[in-house]
Amino acid sequence: MKNELDLTILLPCLNEAETIESCILKAKSFLRSSGLTGEILVADNGSIDGSQIIATNLGARVLDVPSKGYGAALQSGINACNSRWVVMGDSDDSYALDKLHLFIGELELGKDLVIGNRFMGGIYPGAMPWLHRYIGNPVLSALGRAFFKVPIRDFHCGLRAFKLESIKKLNLNTTGMEFASEMIIKATLGNLSISEVPTTLQPDGRSRKPHLKTWSDGWRHLIFMLLASPRWLFFYPGLLLTLMSTIGFLVLLEGGRSVFGLKFGLNTYLLQVGGVLVGTQTLVFGILAKLFLTNYIALPKTKLITNFEKYFTLEKGIVCSGILFFLSLAGILMLLNDWTGENFSTLSLDASVRISALIVLTMCLSIQFMFTSFFIALLKKS
């Protein structure tokens, strides 16, 4: 169905009777000055203070959202929109909903998602807690840029505009405050065009505490970022551990070494072997997690995972597993040869343990590769 309106101004709401009127009046003022056809949609999350009545009396459309949470309210609101564009903003009167021209200008230029930047536009005294302003938001935004290569410096600004059709394709599904991160991350992975414009933040007009919980909501943002980026959660740490441990056990394979006066012997060698096993398993987790996210959680596929699915086959995985298995057999034969060379007498403990550990390593890797190959085949979608 063709969208009938130019713009929907979407306001999630939970007990905002003190401020919802001001927000709606500002939004109506912008619609009049912009010349756009539009509506104000209040996605109410179960208010018990009369917010719905106030919004209805002011001409806004009120949508009842029984599922609790910031993300749940916005998801329902987005699904109920019938317009080309949507501007979403908080109902606490902290954003300038009457000054949205920069957002609309970016949409007119073809952007799919436009994020407000409060640090560029100006944060009024008392509008943002010190911990959020100087630690929480900058750190999480920096991690978002590092993990996903997105040029956004204010990941958690609640004022943003987007093309309705583009955002609906992202299948957003988080219900809490991490919805703000999910939208940017999935838009980035989906190759949507994203831009940032300055906006202001003023102290909200509520007499009660905000819904945002500093530590728990910050933790949910961080966890979502990590889970959406198996490269940083699994792959890179696993790769680093595997490389360092492989170098370590190869250096110590023939015997102990002294470095800067420190002696590294058999115990260190065994730790390196363990590091290789843990590192490769972590790498495997990264591959499996990425396949799961792209094939079953609807995260967009990257070029790397597309090529992996194209060239990896169960048969190739079995071949690699077989090679490692035969290497372990070769190690066993080497150990037997040393034993027979000593006329079946007691072998050197140091040498035998080193060879035995190498046998265990290759055998474990062989089994790991075998079952991982079958699991990857299970996760791959034809």
Alpha helices by DSSP H, listed for 261-313, are 266-296, 303-311
pLDDT band at 294 (very low <50, low <70, confident <90, very high): confident
Residue 285 to residues 3, 230, 281, 293, 346, Cα–Cα distance (Å):
43, 8, 6, 12, 41
The mean pLDDT value for 99-110 works out to 97
Within the chain, all domains assigned CATH 3.90.550.10 are found at: 5-227
Q: What's the confidence (pLDDT) of residue 333?
A: 80
The mean pLDDT value for 32-43 works out to 96
pLDDT at 254 over 70: yes
**Residues of the chain with pLDDT > 90: what percent?**
56
Distance CA(81)–CA(186), nearest Å, equals: 20
User: Which region among 62-76, 167-181, 346-360 has the lowest average model confidence (pLDDT)?
Assistant: 346-360
- Supply 76's token pair: 């329902």
Q: What's the confidence (pLDDT) of residue 25?
A: 97
Q: What's the confidence (pLDDT) of residue 349?
A: 65
User: Which region among 221-230, 270-279, 341-350, 365-374 has the lowest average model confidence (pLDDT)?
Assistant: 341-350
Nearest partner of 160 among 128, 118, 191, judged by Cα: 118
Q: What's the confidence (pLDDT) of residue 61?
A: 97
What topology is assigned to 5-227 in CATH? Spore Coat Polysaccharide Biosynthesis Protein SpsA; Chain A (3.90.550)
What is the DSSP annotation of 299-353?
PPPPHHHHHHHHH--HHHHHHHHHHHHHHHHHHHHHHHHHHHHTTT-PPPHHHHH
pLDDT at 73 over 50: yes
Is there a contact between 180 and 158 (Cβ–Cβ < 8 Å)? yes
For the chain, the average pLDDT equals 88
Distance CA(177)–CA(218), nearest Å, equals: 9
Q: What is the pTM of this model?
A: 0.79
Is there a contact between 299 and 186 (Cβ–Cβ < 8 Å)? yes
Q: What's the confidence (pLDDT) of residue 1?
A: 46
Alpha helices by DSSP H, listed for the chain, are 20-34, 51-57, 70-80, 101-108, 118-121, 130-131, 137-148, 164-168, 179-189, 214-227, 230, 236-251, 266-296, 303-311, 314-341, 349-379
DSSP, collapsed to helix, strand or coil, labels residue 62 as: strand
Is there a contact between 83 and 126 (Cβ–Cβ < 8 Å)? no
